[in-house]
Structures are given as structure tokens and as C-alpha cells.
Amino acid sequence: MFAKGLTNMTTELTTFDYGQLDGKTADFLRTKERNMREIVGRAYTELGRELKEAQDALAGSRYDGVFVKWIESLGYSTQQVYRLMQRYAALTNCENGEQRQLLEDLPVSLSYEIAAPSAEKSEPKRQAKAAVLNGDITTLKEYRELVAKLGTEEKARKEAEARADAAAETNHALMDTLESLKSVPPRIEVQREVYADPTLADRLARYEARFGDIDGEVTERITNHTEVDGAASAFSDDVQTLLLRYAHLTTYRSTFTGLSDESYDEYRTSLDALKDFVNGMERVMSATPKGKAVIIDINEYKAN
């Protein structure tokens, strides 16, 4: 029965309207309410002290589990007993007598709430507990409303900080990209315009009339080996001139660093043409004995 009566006393009292009474009666009842709160507070404090001392006496492996069996035999629940002991511990840890009296006069349900270990697990709860101990909060409803309000504010602050951090990371990434772009040399694209040169056109026409089509199709059969013998010296001079003029290109690989696509294609096309020419000369000379003139039909040779 005593345990059930104790449970009923933990219910937080509602606010009574003293305005319906005359002044003298209202003051009388306020005094009675204050006295009753003090009696209940002291009773809960003494219960917490007695239970804590009993738990300490039964601590250790010798009496393992005995404390719980004992309190249950008295009609208490484990949750109720630990709340009373936590409240008593909070009172003994008060900074001064004034704070202890404030805590003891609080509604028991509110004192349970701020004495529980969970009251220190989050910043909103710690702030709300401090408000209670400062006398700013006097009911469990006010305490929970303040915890919810502070929790919402903390969530909004963390979200804002996360957005700010994300924006800062994005800004740093953009700055790094800009710095890396500064180190890249600008790419210059050269646009070329081709103009017809009548002089070159005339020279090309005369070349093809003498030696054949520039694309490789011979338009005139060579029948005079004397012209071939006479061209050997000029051919040798031209080759030497070519080598002397462009030999440096084969010396350093760095020479071609930064070469444009257009220039690269021109070099490659010219080298392919030279390879075709050299291969053709090799085939003709390998098939022809020295000192003996041979008339070669190029079209027939290609067909074979």
C-alpha cells in the first residue's frame, strides 16, 4: 500500500485558481500547499537516502541480485527505486543549500527528469536542466517544451553549419581548379588561308610534262638513260641539301614539344611520301644490274 501511495504522489499537480477565494483563505491554502510540497520533497529525499544506503550495503558478488529482490518484496518497481536514488544523488551534488532546497521543492516528476543520466546526454537537455536549477523552469511541461525548442534550434544550427561547410569545400575546389588552370599555357590555334600561286602552278605543269603525274601515274615513258645518269649528281646534291637543312630535327625530341596538329600532319605526310619514294628507288635499283641500261615500263612494273 505504501508503494502505491508513493506512486500517486509522483503525479505533477495542476495549477489551482486561487482567485476564486477571498484573500485570507487563498493565502492560507498557499501556505498549506507549500508545506505539503516540502513534506513530500523531504519524504522522497529520505526514501532515496535509505534505498541508496541499502544498495551500498548489499553491493558485491556475495549478495548479487539481493537488492532487487528486496525492493520488489516491498512493492517497489526497479524503475521507481532507481529514480528515487538518482534524485537523492542529485540533491547531494548540489552546489549550495539554496539549490538543494529548490530541487527538493520541485514537482517530483520534474526532479526525476533532471536527475536521470539522460539529462546530460545532449546540449538541449543540459541547457534545460540548468534553467531548472536556476529557478526559470518549475514544471515538467515547461522543461520538455524547452528541450524541444532547444533541440529544434540545435538541429537548424547544425544544418546551417553543414551547408556552410559544403559551400566552403565547393569554394576551395573551385579555387584549386582556377589555380591549376593558371599553370596551363594557353593554346593558340592558327588559321591558315591558302592562296593560289600562278608561279607554282606553272612549275607543277612543267614538272609533270617532264617527269610524269605527281600522284605517281607516269604520263611519259623514260627512254634515255643518259638523263638518268646525269640526274644522279643533282639527286645526290639535293639529298645532301635536304639532310643538312633538316638533320637537326632528329637530334632532340623536345624540338617537337607543343607542335600543332596541322604541323604534325604535314611532317607525317611528307615522311610517308619520302618512304614511298625511297622504297620505289630501292626496288628499281635492286632489280637493275650496274652498267647495263634497262628500259622500264613503270605501269607494267606496278602491275607485277
Mean pLDDT, residues 43-61: 90
| pLDDT greater than 70 at residue 119 | yes
Which amino acid appears at position 258 of this protein? G
Tell me the per-residue pLDDT of 164-212, one tens digit each, with 9 for 90 and over: 999 988 888 888 888 787 777 777 666 666 666 677 667 667 666 655 6
More confident residue, 220 or 66: 66
| pLDDT greater than 80 at residue 69 | yes
Report how far residue 290's alpha carbon sits from residue 228's, in angstroms, rounded to the nearest whole number. 13
Report the share of the chain in percent with pLDDT over 90.
27
Cβ-contact 262, 192 below 8 angstroms: yes
Lookup result for grid cell 626496288: 283
Cβ-contact 175, 146 below 8 angstroms: no
DSSP assignment of the chain equals: -HHHHHHHHTSPPPPP-GGGS-HHHHHHHHHHHHHHHHHHHHHHHHHHHHHHHHHHHT-SGGGTTHHHHHHHHTT--HHHHHHHHHHHHHHHT-SSHHHHHHHHHS-HHHHHHHHSGGGGSSHHHHHHHHHHHTTS--SHHHHHHHHHHHHHHHHHHHHHHHHHHHHHHHHHHHHHHHHHHHTSPPPPPPP------HHHHHHHHHHHHHH--TTS--SS----HHHHHHHHHHHHHHHHHHHHHHGGGGT-GGGGTT--HHHHHHHHHHHHHHHHHHHHHHHHHHTS-TT------HHHHHH-
More confident residue, 265 or 57: 57
pLDDT at 2: 46
| pLDDT greater than 60 at residue 5 | no
Average pLDDT, the chain: 79
More confident residue, 215 or 134: 134
Report the share of the chain in percent with pLDDT over 70.
74
Tell me the per-residue pLDDT of 71-104, one tens digit each, with 9 for 90 and over: 999 999 999 999 999 999 998 888 888 888 888 8
This prediction has a pTM of 0.46
Q: What angle do CA 83, 89, 90 make, to 5 degrees?
A: 90
Tell me the per-residue pLDDT of 264-278, one tens digit each, with 9 for 90 and over: 778 788 888 788 788
- The greatest distance separating any two alpha carbons of the chain, rounded to the nearest whole angstrom, comes to 151
Mean pLDDT, residues 219-237: 66
Any idea which of 100-114, 174-188, 215-229 has the lowest mean pLDDT? 215-229
pLDDT at 269: 82
